[in-house]
Amino acid sequence: MSAPPAPKEVAVPKVARLLLLPFVVLAASMAAQPTPIPLPSTSSAPPTSMAALGDSITRALAVCCSNGDNSLHSWSTGHVPGDGVSSHYERLTGLDPAITGRNHNNAISGSRARDLPDQAELAVKQNVEYVTILIGANDLCASSAATMTSEEEFSFHIKTALATLNSGLPRARIFVSSIPDLHQLWKTLENNAEARKAWSSGTCPSMLSADNTEEQRQSVIKRELAFNQILARACSQYRNCRWDNNAVYNFKFSASDVSVLDYFHPSLEGQASLAELTWRASW
């Protein structure tokens, strides 16, 4: 018996082939794409609780009125009507009053990166939905450039704190600020006699001591750039963490942004600028 004839190829017109080509490419592309991983549940609804982590900047030390903590004027959790500082908390209260009274300032004046994990654990216990972080100035402001916190130690503590927050508060939104430019502070006020007098008492000697060489100051600049890179990389590991993209570090503040009580911490105007900059960069 002879074999049956082979089926004839059906010729596809050239125009039809061209029309089909985009659909073939699209199907292949879709098949090659991995299944998207959904973001953590960070709904568009404003958070109804928050915690601020950090140091004396977030405690609004020497902002006005007295040399001590004045956290009611903090860029993050402050709430004094008419002070000119529109804090994150006040802005969030305007979006949803449910956050009222649930603003925890866990920052402690004098804190370094090594203190951040404990502050993060406290935020987890408080079960907050939003966390702000501003840390690192005290790690730079050592007795000398040679005794600043190492990059390795700084990185370890930052990673530990963020891991604690991610594990304990997986649905929370986290905001990480860059460190303000310490060298700019020096350049802004180096010819101010009152500032130099205040600094001579031991304020951030690694940068502000009158006896420093420019080479020593450059080593602080280099370490600060490294710290900000560490903060950026650590934050990028978590999809619910937002970095300010160096908005605070790049801000060209003026003398009026600095407290006249110690010529180091932000004034009320400085806290207001900090609140505005970080709010724009945050969630």
Predicted pLDDT at 218: 97
pLDDT mean over 93-97: 96
Average model confidence (pLDDT) across the chain: 88
Q: What's the rounded Cα separation, in Å, for the pair 40 and 66? A: 42
Higher confidence at residue 76 or residue 34?
Answer: 76
SS3 61: coil
Predicted pLDDT at 44: 73
Dump pLDDT digits (tens) for 160-202.
999 999 999 999 999 999 999 999 999 999 999 999 999 999 9
**Cβ 10 vs Cβ 88: under 8 Å:** no
Q: Which class is 50-281 in CATH?
A: alpha beta
Predicted pLDDT at 65: 82
Dump pLDDT digits (tens) for 100-119.
999 999 999 999 999 999 99
In terms of C-beta distances under 8 Å and separation of at least 24 residues, what long-range contacts does 203-207 make, across chains too? 203/141, 203/262, 203/263, 203/264, 204/137, 204/140, 204/141, 204/264, 205/141, 205/142, 205/143, 205/144, 206/140, 206/141, 206/142, 206/143, 206/144, 206/145, 206/147, 206/148, 207/140, 207/141, 207/182, 207/183
Position 67 confidence tier, pLDDT thresholds 50, 70, 90: confident
Dump pLDDT digits (tens) for 24-51.
333 333 333 333 323 334 457 999 999 9
Dump pLDDT digits (tens) for 134-164.
999 999 999 999 999 999 999 999 999 999 9
pLDDT mean over 54-65: 96
Residue 20: is its pLDDT beyond 50? no
pLDDT mean over 237-254: 97
Predicted pLDDT at 27: 39
Q: What's the rounded Cα separation, in Å, for the pair 280 and 272? A: 12
Dump pLDDT digits (tens) for 205-224.
999 999 999 999 999 999 99
Predicted pLDDT at 60: 98
Can you name the residues that pair with 266 across neighbouring β-strands? 258
